[in-house]
Amino acid sequence: MKSFVTVCCLSFLLGLVAVVESDEDYTEDEEMILSLILQDDTQPEAESRPSAQFYRCTKDAWRMPGQYIVVMRNGTHVNQVERTARRLRAKAAKRNVCSAVKLPHVEYIEEDSSIFAQSIPWNLQRILQNKHETGKYSPPNDGAKVGVYLLDTSVQVTHREIEDRVMVTDFNSVPEEDGVRVHRQASQCDSHGTHIAGVVSGRDSGVARGASVNSVRVLNCQGKGTVSGALAGLEYIQSSLMSQAIRPVILLLPFVGGFSRTLNAACRKMVESGAVLVAAAGNYNDDACLYSPASEPEVITVGAVNFADQPLSTGTTGTNAGRCVDVFAPGDDIISASSDCSTCFTTKSGTSQAAAHVAGIAAVLLNLNPNSSSAELLQQLLHHSVKQTINPESLPLNHRLSTPNMVVALPDPTSTLTGEDLLCRSVWSERSAAKGLATATARCRHGEEMLSCSSFSQNGARAGERVEERDGQKECVAVNGNGGQGVFAVARCCTGHKAQCQMLESPQRGADAECPPDHQLTGCSSSSSSGDASDSERPLHGIRRACPAKRDVTSYASCCHTSSLECRLKEHDSMGLSEQVEVSCEDSWTLTGCQGLSHGSVVRGAFALGNTCVVHTSGGDIGAAAIATCCRHRLSHKPSDH
């Protein structure tokens, strides 16, 4: 067996193996090392004997320049090897590592390099749909067509994970660090931004490894910024996009502040201009609606989960939750680039890391469908997400129903989803006041169509819901009933409907709200002006498509016109003493409307959960029925359960 000795002149983390011919161009350090190692007073002159081969890794990023393995020829005595090793260690201890080293019988020299365990980090494994390919991270694409603007701390662009992938812009708007003795080490100033950039597009730790990242510094070395600085950063990006358009483009906002109307408005303006904004929900174990930009409806707000798909919780802190969160993503012990050195890695946790995952997946989706709007992209994210994996009891009680139970995942390799598929999601309002006839309002995003409106009350005292229009946008308005404890409005918001839709009100109380003959009925609502309970009637889906109403109740019908749309009802009655009854649309159909039909028990409300219509009742032998309105495009019969 051949003997070998390790020669260390420098230490650098990198790695694999390949042959490099001995006449290759070497660095100055390599020339010195080779000339010294190959000195041999006991052998003929160098030109009269064969040159030793020099090997190094084909993966430049894995190389360890300055650290070498010297392999001795067969027959070299063990005492010679040990003596040589002692001499090398003595030279290294004096930092005179390679001077005057004479090694006879050298067979070849190999530059050291890194090796890696062949399993991928849990977070990347988690977002894959093709679980059978264990040990390999293989997204549908690398997001190379997408540009990402990262509003964060500065970034260590020389880190091997993100080198040549991140461009540092000339923007810098940060406050002074707190305290008079702040030591501004580069590793501290770059810590958060480097880690986040690595999660987005790092060579080994990134989600979308082809996406380009533009660093816009709005946080100082302590990770602190100002609303005014963030606003200036958004203005800078807007100007940059006007002068040199990048499409599609994602803005990643891995920070939160207190609720700011101004910051939310600026984010909304960016979305209206065509950008996709992804923001952290916040790490305060609180309602995300109390923070900005997380509370802005046009922003995709991301909460964090751990490896078990449960809400991230660390001591007294944890992920924010509630109706302002759109989706969850891995955010616990996430491995990515460390700014401590250009090859260092570290783990960090939080909703910033979760938001970076969503930005990466969004880049993959936009690479597939570059013309998708922000609203369409969100629907695609939800469509591909893993549903009902979070334990509801791990969520705050007052946010349990309104928090989406979805964890992001990359598209399945067989998915053929496009921006034209009918996709829907539920949008909850905040709870209304407890006084009679108090209202709560839910709205869809820009680019979504409201196809139905329902309501929910914990004690069942609700006066139904109605649909209004304000500034050209439909609103789902829920009405609290007499003796109610507050009511929620739940809007069913959809993209890809390819239809002209309108909400029609019954001509008078107790009369039907009827769709025109060439329209499909996508959902029904009803409200009582007296504050008494407003129970639904079964929709009509025959030749007449209408929403009937009981006496003194106004009904509302959502009616959509397109030649390719078809809708039908699906109904399920509760059995026994169940307080919840459900009915789901089949895989090729999308749930657009959800109603509860009382058989005598109190219906607390109805809402869509994924592709399932859920009705809560007071229980009892009489029970209730859940009625789902399921729609699809005739030429697009693909799974739409999300």
pLDDT at 185 over 80: no
Burial 419-432 (b: 16+ CB within 10 A, else e): bbbbbbbbbbbbbb
Q: Is residue 18 scored above 70 in pLDDT?
A: no
pLDDT digits (tens, 9 = 90+) for 369-392: 999 999 999 999 999 999 999 999
Question: Could you give the CA distance from residue 442 to residue 308 in angstroms, rounded to a whole number?
Answer: 32
- Report all structural domains of the chain as residue ranges with CATH numbers, in order of start: 1-12+49-115 (3.30.70.80), 122-176+188-407 (3.40.50.200), 423-633 (2.60.120.690)
pLDDT score of 97: 41
The predicted pLDDT at position 16 comes to: 24
Q: Is the pLDDT of residue 128 over 70?
A: yes
Closest CA to 15 of 116, 161, 160, 114: 114
pLDDT of residue 92: 56
Work out the average pLDDT over 530-543: 82
Confidence of residue 126 (pLDDT cuts 50, 70, 90): very high
Tell me which of 342, 352, 536, 558 is the catalytic residue. 352
Residue 13's pLDDT band, with cuts at 50, 70 and 90, is very low
Better-scored residue on pLDDT, 68 or 175 = 175
The region of weakest confidence among 131-135, 401-405, 436-440, 506-510 is 131-135
DSSP letter string over 522-562? EEEEEEETTSS-----PPEESSSEEE---TTEEEEEEEEE-
**Whether 352 is catalytic:** yes
The residue ranking higher by pLDDT, 75 or 584, is: 584
Task: Determine the average pLDDT of the residues in 457-466.
Answer: 89
For the chain, give the mean pLDDT.
85
d(CA 251, CA 326): 16
Q: Which residue has the higher pLDDT, 387 or 180?
A: 387
Treating both helix axes as pointing N-terminal to C-terminal, what angle do 186-201 and 351-368 enclose, rounded to 10 degrees? 40
Angle at 486 between CA 484 and CA 487, to 5 degrees: 105
Can you give the pLDDT at residue 67? 80
Per-residue pLDDT, 383: 95
Q: What's the CA gap between 41 and 103, in Å, rounded?
A: 9
CA distance 457 to 311: 25
Q: What is the pLDDT of residue 554?
A: 92
Q: What whole-number distance in Å separates Cα of residue 609 and Cα of residue 591? A: 9
Residue 633 confidence (pLDDT) above 50 = yes
Residue 21 has pLDDT above 50, yes or no: no
Q: What is the 3-state secondary structure (H, E, C) of 462-498?
A: EEEEEEEEECCEEEEEEEECCCCCCEEEEEEEEECCC
Q: Which residue among the candidates 159, 192, 399, 519 is catalytic per the annotation?
A: 192
Among 152, 204, 340, 421, the one annotated catalytic: 152
DSSP at 412: P
Catalytic, 421? Answer no
Of 215-229, 313-327, 377-391, 562-576, the least confident: 562-576
pLDDT number for residue 103? 53
Going by C-alpha positions, the residue among 166, 161, 155 that lies closest to residue 189 is 155
- Report, as an integer, the average pLDDT of 527-537: 78
Reply yes or no on whether 587 is catalytic. Answer: no
For helices 227-243 and 261-272, the axis angle rounded to 10 degrees is 10
Cβ 208 vs Cβ 201: under 8 Å: yes
pLDDT band at 314 (very low <50, low <70, confident <90, very high): confident
- CA 288 to each of CA 294, 301, 492: distance values in angstroms, whole numbers, following the listed order: 6, 9, 21
